[in-house]
């Protein structure tokens, strides 16, 4: 497949590859309960905004050894859904999906907006071995799920859900990239998907084009701040197409932020540090993340939720940190003013 490199990428590739990036520090605001185990357990969160009462919104988070955990905005654990080896999770509306390597399937969940309870709605088996990343979106009125693989394969499935009984997938389409993929996010409004190739960089795909045009946004080691592994990818969707794409650059404990609109220019680089009184520790080695622009109690501009490898010791009691998006906005504005 022909891959078109953006003007931004060409500019970045011409920059010095020495990593002299200074990331803006943003404090963690709150954290979820720890997973109570050793090893690399927590991976990817997804934010569900309750349509009737924002205070009853939830954070779903994967435990790679157990399944999907559910947290309140206060960080308390509400549910455990032991569906198996779940890696990534995403949702649209009241339907959530996790990549489940334990049963080689997509595991589906429905969220009751009245009770804010999450229930397992069954699994849809996949023929391709070891589903890794997953994201879900609505394109031209139809729900689609994207599965990414360590082989560089991307599968795009049309999703049918009646609200009861098993969820169905059909009309498989594929694209092939060169190496291991994981994080992805679909921008429903523009029909674009952003996907991270872990040791290569960040790509954008026009899912509505006939040939599903693929374009490079940034490369690992370009000097922008993006480094391997390119892990979590999420979208802060503001009005009128504005907003940001947020990407975890795992090996440097940082997050690289790009404009949502083409050419997806670099907006800034942040790290998540401990809060002022030290009651919530800083974040390192993030796998997955999610971000929401929805107004929530205490967070009128939304939140960023990131996986934390060390809580506070690496691979001990891993959890998710919650960041007030207003703090991210202040950091981006300050960095822009300093230029």
| Per-residue model confidence as pLDDT tens digits over 76-110 | 999 999 999 999 999 999 999 999 999 999 999 99
Question: What are the angstrom distances between the C-alpha of 165 and each of 145, 168, 255, 287?
Answer: 18, 9, 39, 32
Q: Could you tell me the pLDDT band of residue 336, with boundaries at 50, 70 and 90? A: confident
Report the pLDDT averaged over residues 140-159: 97
Question: Is the bond into 128 cis (omega within 30 degrees of 0)?
Answer: no
Residue 17 has pLDDT above 50, yes or no: no
Give me 41's structure tokens.
């357990």
CB–CB of 230/198 below 8 Å? yes
Residue 277: how many other CB atoms lie within 10 Å: 6
Predicted pLDDT at 19: 75
CA–CA separation, 58 and 113 (whole Å): 11
Asked whether the beta carbons of 231 and 250 are under 8 A apart, the reply is yes
Look up residue 123 and give its two tokens: 């699994």
Q: What is the pLDDT of residues 204-219, one digit of tens each?
A: 999 998 888 899 999 9
* pLDDT for residue 5: 35
Quick one: average pLDDT of 278-301? 97
Sign of CA dihedral 208, 211, 212, 215: negative
Q: Biggest alpha carbon distance in the chain?
A: 55
Torsion-angle region of residue 89: left (phi > 0), alpha (psi -120 to 50) or beta?
beta
Domains and CATH numbers, the chain: 4-338 (2.120.10.30)
| Percent with pLDDT over 70 in the chain | 95
For the chain, the average pLDDT equals: 93
* Confidence category of residue 9, pLDDT binned at 50, 70, 90: very low
Across 157-161, average pLDDT: 97
Q: How far is CA 26 from CA 64, 304, 329, in A?
A: 27, 11, 10
- 16 pLDDT more than 80: no
Q: Which pair of tokens denotes residue 213?
A: 């045009």
63 burial class (0-12, 13-18, 19+ CB within 10 angstroms)? Answer: buried
How confident is the model at residue 20, as a pLDDT? 83
Residues paired with residue 50 on neighbouring β-strands, in sequence order: none
The pLDDT of residue 264 is above 70:
yes
Whole-angstrom Cα distance, residue 267 to residue 191? 21
- The answer on pLDDT for 7 being more than 60 is no
Q: What is the arithmetic mean of pLDDT over 313-330?
A: 96
Q: What is the pLDDT of residue 10?
A: 33
Q: Residue 8: is its pLDDT beyond 60?
A: no
Question: What's the pLDDT band for 297 if we cut at 50, 70, 90?
Answer: very high
The three state secondary structure string of the chain is CCCEECHHHHHHHCCCCCCCCCCEEEECCEECCCCCCECCCEEEEEEECCCCCHHHCEEEEEECCCEEEEEECCCCEEEEECCCCEEEEEEECCEEEEEECCCCEEEEEEECCCCCCEEEEEEEECCCCCCCEEEEEEECCEEEEEEECCCCEEEEEEEECCCCCCCEEEEEEEEECCCCEEEEEEECCCCEEEEEECCCEEEEEECCCCCCCEEEEEECCCCCCCCCCEEEEEEEECHHHCEEEEEEEHHHCEEEEEECCCCCCEEEEEEEECCCCCCCCCCCCCCCEEEECCCECCECCCEEEEEEEECCCEEEEEEEEEEEHHHHHHHHHHHHHHC
Q: At 338, phi and psi to the nearest 5?
A: -80, -15
**Is the pLDDT score of 327 beyond 60?**
yes
What would the pLDDT profile of 25-83 be if each residue is shown by its tens digit? 999 999 999 999 999 999 999 999 999 999 999 999 999 999 999 999 999 999 999 99
Average pLDDT of the segment spanning 190-215: 94
Range in 12-21, 148-157, 209-218, 299-308 the model is least confident about: 12-21
């Amino acid at each position: 497949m022909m891959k078109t490199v953006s003007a931004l990428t060409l500019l970045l590739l011409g920059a010095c590859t020495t990593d002299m990036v200074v990331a803006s520090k943003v404090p963690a605001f709150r954290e979820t309960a720890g997973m109570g185990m050793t090893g690399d357990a927590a991976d990817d969160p997804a934010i569900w905004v309750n349509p009737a009462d924002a205070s009853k919104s939830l954070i779903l988070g994967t435990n790679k050894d157990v399944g999907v955990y559910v947290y309140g905005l206060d960080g308390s654990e509400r549910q455990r859904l032991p569906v198996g080896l779940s890696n990534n999770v995403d949702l649209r509306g009241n339907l959530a999906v996790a990549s489940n390597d334990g049963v080689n399937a997509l595991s589906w969940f429905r969220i009751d907006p009245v009770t804010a309870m999450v229930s397992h709605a069954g699994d849809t088996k996949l023929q391709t071995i070891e589903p890794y990343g997953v994201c879900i979106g609505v394109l031209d009125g139809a729900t689609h799920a994207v599965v990414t693989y360590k082989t560089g394969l991307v599968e795009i499935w049309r999703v049918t859900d009646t609200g009861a009984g098993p969820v169905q997938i059909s009309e498989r389409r594929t694209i092939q990239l060169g190496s291991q993929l994981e994080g992805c996010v679909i921008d429903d409004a523009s029909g674009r998907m952003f996907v991270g190739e872990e040791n290569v960089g960040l790509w954008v795909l026009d899912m509505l084009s006939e040939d599903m045009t693929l374009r490079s946004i940034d490369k690992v080691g370009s000097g922008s701040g993006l480094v391997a592994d390119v892990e979590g990818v999420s979208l802060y969707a503001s009005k009128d197409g504005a907003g940001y794409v947020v990407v975890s650059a795992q090996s440097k404990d940082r997050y690289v932020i790009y404009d949502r609109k083409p050419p997806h220019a670099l907006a800034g680089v942040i790290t998540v540090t401990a809060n002022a009184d030290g009651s919530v520790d800083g974040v390192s080695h993030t796998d997955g993340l999610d971000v929401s622009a929805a107004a929530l109690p205490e967070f009128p501009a939304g939140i960023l939720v990131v996986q934390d490898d060390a809580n506070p010791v690496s691979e001990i009691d891993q959890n998710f940190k919650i960041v007030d998006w207003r703090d991210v906005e202040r950091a981006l504005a300050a960095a822009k003013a300093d230029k």
